[in-house]
């Protein structure tokens, strides 16, 4: 597996996550695919774990199958994420299972085939 520059990858992840519309969700794996590194969904999680930018809607990224991932903190992080999504109008169901929070991916999923990571002025300057 090729080496990934973590600074570049994190910046790319943050840029893509900022594109997720209010009230929608996507998966770690889909963000990794859009970032050009489909095998690095765990790195997407690490990027969001170390997030310092308050304008990145981290709560909109969930696990495959619509699960909100447990962070090993007794469920506090997952509960906080579920609450933030509910504030956006996303219906988050709850069960007693270990992955107790779940979102209906068919209803709330955001899965574009590709995204533009640069605005048109930057592309024009680069000659692309």
* CATH number of the domain bearing residue 70: 1.10.10.10
Residue 86: inside a domain: yes
Measured distance CA(26)–CA(59) in Å, rounded: 10
Domain that holds residue 121: 6-126
* 72 burial type by CB count under 10 A (0-12 exposed, 13-18 middle, 19+ buried): exposed
Predicted pLDDT at 72: 75
Residue 45: inside a domain: yes
- Count structural domains, the chain: 1
Q: Could you tell me the two tokens for 119?
A: 């605005």
pLDDT in tens, 69-81: 887 777 888 999 9
pLDDT above 90: residue 126: no
pLDDT above 90: residue 120: no
- The pTM for the full model equals 0.87
Residue 107: inside a domain: yes
Q: Are 11 and 43 in contact (CB under 8 A)?
A: no
Residue 85: inside a domain: yes
Residue 103: inside a domain: yes
pLDDT in tens, 19-44: 999 999 999 999 999 999 999 999 99
Residue reference for tokens 């929608």 = 24
- Nearest CA-CA partner of 109 in 32, 24, 21, 44: 24
Residue 57: inside a domain: yes
């Amino acid at each position: 597996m090729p080496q990934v520059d973590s600074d570049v990858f994190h910046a790319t992840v943050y840029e893509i996550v900022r594109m997720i519309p209010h009230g929608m969700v996507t998966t770690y794996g889909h963000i990794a695919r859009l970032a050009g590194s489909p095998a690095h969904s765990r790195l997407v999680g690490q990027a969001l774990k170390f997030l310092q930018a308050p304008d990145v809607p981290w709560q909109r990224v969930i696990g495959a199958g619509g699960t909100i991932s447990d962070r090993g903190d007794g469920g506090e992080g997952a509960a906080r994420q579920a609450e933030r999504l509910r504030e956006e109008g996303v219906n988050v169901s709850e069960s007693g299972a270990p992955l107790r929070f779940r979102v209906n991916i068919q209803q709330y999923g955001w899965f574009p085939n590709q995204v533009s990571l640069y605005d048109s002025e930057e592309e024009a300057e680069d000659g692309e």
